[in-house]
Structure 1
Amino acid sequence: MNFSRESSILNVMEPIVSNLFDDNYVKTNSLKCSCEKCKMDIILLTLNHVSPHYTSTQAGEAYIKALFLNPQLQSDVLREIIQSVKIIEEHPNH
Structure 2
Amino acid sequence: MKYSHELNFLNVMEPIVRDMLEEHYVQTRILSCACDKCTLDILLLTLNHLPPHYTSSQEGEAYIKAYYLNPQQQSDILREITKAVQIIQERPNH
Whether 1:58 and 2:58 are equivalent positions in the alignment is yes
Q: Report the equivalent of 2:15.
A: 15
Gaps of 5+ in 1: none
Q: Report the equivalent of 2:68.
A: 68
**2:85 partner letter:** V
1:33-44 to 2 correspondences below 5 Å: 33-44=33-44
Whether 1:83 and 2:86 are equivalent positions in the alignment is no
- Distance in 1 (CA, whole Å) between partners of 2:34 and 2:63 is 32
**1:78 partner letter:** L
Q: Report the equivalent of 2:49.
A: 49
Q: TM-score, structure 2 length as denominator? A: 0.94
| Superimposed CA distance per residue, residues 33-84 of structure 1 (whole angstroms, 9 cap, x where no aligned partner) | 0110000000000000000000000000000000000000000000000000
Q: Report the equivalent of 2:92.
A: 92
Deviation of 1:7 (Å): 2.1
Q: Report the equivalent of 2:25.
A: 25
Gaps of 5+ in 2: none
Q: Post-superposition, which runs of at least 4 consecutive aligned residues in structure 1 deviate over 3 A?
A: 1-4
Q: 1:91 to 1:2 in 2, by over 3 A?
A: farther
Q: TM-score, structure 1 length as denominator? A: 0.94
Aligned-residue sequence identity (percent) comes to 60
Number of matched residues? 93
